[in-house]
Amino acid sequence: MEKLIISVLIVVVFIIYKLFSKAEKRNTARKLTHFLKNQESFTIDFDQVNVEGFMFRENVEVDLYDRELSSYNDEIYLSIEPFDFKGKYHKNKNVSKFSSQLKTTFNYRGSEYKYIISGLPINEITFRMRIYQQKHLTIYVFKDNGAQVKSTLRTANNSTDFNLMMGNYFFVDLRFLNEKGIGVIKLGICKTN
């Protein structure tokens, strides 16, 4: 009877944990969407976006269920229980991986910008199809107002404070690709007028 109660409690705690983690992910995505809505944005057409990619084969460690393991974790080779195979090294396997890059050129306030995002883990054809369905990319401009920094150098008017202007940054939201590890990506700094 005690084992049954403990088992039920463990299952209930696990279910509550899963529900809270899903709610936290949705809340984070909602906050990011709200943040991006408040930023200046503009769209660029599909013809201003060039996607290139390639496929390569890589030899990786997998567990008994053919799930890829992180080679940075030393614990994948160790097991306390002799029958614990989940998440533990089983064999090496050749897997196909994809790497795509996005090249874009656009004008913003009279200046032309050219950016390349490389190393996106998505198939080139799938990438092109999803951008084509989206019909455009939205570029967000994050305005960094800088920070007041105390300086040891004196300026002409003997003031030691000066404004460190970091500049404005471009971001692109690639969450519509629905791929793990691809989200909002920083393109880079833009010129300020």
pLDDT in tens, 140-173: 888 765 544 444 444 444 444 444 445 678 888 8
Distance of alpha carbon 181 from alpha carbon 81, whole angstroms: 32
The pTM of the full predicted model, rounded to 2 decimals, is 0.62
pLDDT at 147: 45
Burial pattern 2-11, b for ≥16 Cβ within 10 A else e, equals eeeeeeeeee
